[in-house]
Structure 1
Amino acid sequence: MIKKIIWYSVVTISVLGIIAFSTGFYKAIRLTTGTTNGAISSEQNTQSPNDNPIEKPANSLSLITLGDSVAKGTGDETNRGFAGNLKDLMNSKTSKDVMVENLGIDGLRSGNLLEEVQTGKLDAVIKTSDFILLSIGGNDLRTLQNQDEPSKVKDVIEIQNQTISDLKEIISHIREINKNATIIFVGLYNPNVKTGSYVDGELVRSWNF
């Protein structure tokens, strides 16, 4: 199931990448715990969904984003982020009203998201979602940003294995609540590709492939 989701994600994100580059999205995002540099519209900045059952309007599609600053859209100078760009893409393909609920949180790690999901407070919004955009793992990897030597590979493997374990549990919980939603998993984004850092280079590539 994980492989199927990730394979679908590669195709989907490739399309999104074209849109994102045209709006300058990639230029602005950083996978850090920093503060938001660009304001996100109220439609895309909800972080505390109502625990009560959510009634979805007829003739509509629901898109939620879960995860870190990439999911949230932090630093995007266009105020669109992945959620906004995906909404635009969906609007061009359907006559249905696309509703976005952005639950991304700056600095979130996979363990944090797993805890959020396991509390059940996201169950209501997950249950009624048609599309779930998931971005997580970047901040897990950033814990090694000061460890530039390949000899640190043991630490990398431990963190990677834990992140993958968390991700499997997150997706498993989502599937228990909603068996039909399309899950779009965003691969790790590298905003520092020219720095030559081991973490910013080889590790990001190894995690994505």
Structure 2
Amino acid sequence: MKQSKWYAFLSGAVLLTGIAVYGLWIGYQDIVNPPERTLSVSEDERPVPEGDVYVALGDSLTRGVGSTSGAGYVQPVSAALEEEGVRTQNLAVSGARTEDLLTQLEQPEVRRTIENARYITLTIGGNDLFNRGENVDNFESVDIQQVVTDAKTNLETIFTEIRSLNDSATIVYIGLYNPFQNDENGQAFNQLILDWNASAKQLANAQNIDVIDPFAYISDLSRDLATDQFHPSDRTYEKFANDVLFVLE
């Protein structure tokens, strides 16, 4: 009786060892020769979420940098539109220049998001012209006219590309202001920015895009700018939001 139990125990141990070895071998094969896997839903077949969408594009102003709460102008606009069942997607990237936004517009997922948008806002161009203030400090040595010309060309392409992706959305571009008015070469930038905003209006009109000109919003730098003396203050962001909502309504 004891001998039969011993054989039964030995047979079970051998069987379990064999199963374990087989499992290890299957796992090894999965690592060395991984099986081909396909997604159950391809990128093109992925369902689009239902409902209207508000898409925000551009740079740090659309990200809300400088706002004490981080709300910027997008969150107040988003809150108002949410009451109408509109979802928000903020695709802005701090520090983005016009060429960066053009690159972003090549991404399939971004293009698909824009195609399905009901409202679109964007801020872009400030990082091109100011270059973190270096173009202001080195005004005499920088070919600022070439910088402006290149940025305007990119801006026209941006407007054209966005409108080609969506021919029915309400699109709003927020122009530039001058945060360096008190710098040595700050006043020289006033005319550059006024010209930029005027050109932006012409380019935007050709694509049925609305333009908000915030140049006059910055008159008292300590009041109208954030503590970094570059981005808008809460007060100025609130003006942006009110202007955007006025256009959208």
TM-score of the alignment, normalized to the shorter chain, above 0.5: yes
> Match for residue 206 of structure 1?
195
1:110/1:166 contact within 8 Å kept = yes
Is 1:62 aligned to 2:50, yes or no? no
Change over 3 Å in CA distance of 1:111–1:191 after alignment to 2: same
> Match for residue 10 of structure 1?
none
CA RMSD of aligned residues (A): 2.4
Q: TM-score, normalised by structure 1?
A: 0.63
CA displacement, residues 28-74 of structure 1 (integer Å, 9 cap, x when unaligned): xxxxxxxxxxxxxxxxxxxxxxx66562334xx31111111011111
Q: How far apart in 2 are the matches of 1:186 and 1:96? A: 23
Q: How far apart in 2 are the matches of 1:207 and 1:120? A: 30
Q: How far apart in 1 are the matches of 2:155 and 2:144? A: 16
Structure 1 portions without partners, runs of 5+: 1-50
Q: How far apart in 2 are the matches of 1:199 and 1:78? A: 33
Deviation at 1:200, TM superposition (A): 5.0
SS of the equivalent of 2:148 reads helix
Is 1:167 aligned to 2:155, yes or no? yes
Is 1:138 aligned to 2:129, yes or no? no
Change over 3 Å in CA distance of 1:174–1:54 after alignment to 2: farther
- The percentage of counterpart residues that share the same residue type is 28
Deviation at 1:123, TM superposition (A): 1.1
> Match for residue 93 of structure 2?
105
> Match for residue 84 of structure 1?
75
2:130/2:136 contact within 8 Å kept = yes
SS of the equivalent of 1:104 reads coil
Give matches, 1:153-164, under 5 Å.
155-164=143-152
Q: How far apart in 1 are the matches of 2:138 and 2:108? A: 36
Amino acid at match of 1:107: G
1:65/1:132 contact within 8 Å kept = yes
Structure 2 portions without partners, runs of 5+: 1-42, 199-249
Deviation at 1:110, TM superposition (A): 0.2
Is 1:182 aligned to 2:170, yes or no? yes
Deviation at 1:88, TM superposition (A): 3.9
> Match for residue 208 of structure 2?
none
Q: How far apart in 2 are the matches of 1:164 and 1:188? A: 13
Change over 3 Å in CA distance of 1:114–1:62 after alignment to 2: same
Deviation at 1:111, TM superposition (A): 0.7
Amino acid at match of 1:97: G
Q: How far apart in 2 are the matches of 1:169 and 1:198? A: 29
Amino acid at match of 1:208: N
> Match for residue 48 of structure 1?
none
Q: How far apart in 2 are the matches of 1:116 and 1:157? A: 25
Is 1:72 aligned to 2:63, yes or no? yes
Between Structure 1 and Structure 2, the one with more helix by share is 2
Instruction: Tell me the matched-pair count.
Output: 151
The structure, 1 or 2, with the larger RCO (C-alpha pairs under 8 Å, 6+ apart) is 1
> Match for residue 215 of structure 2?
none
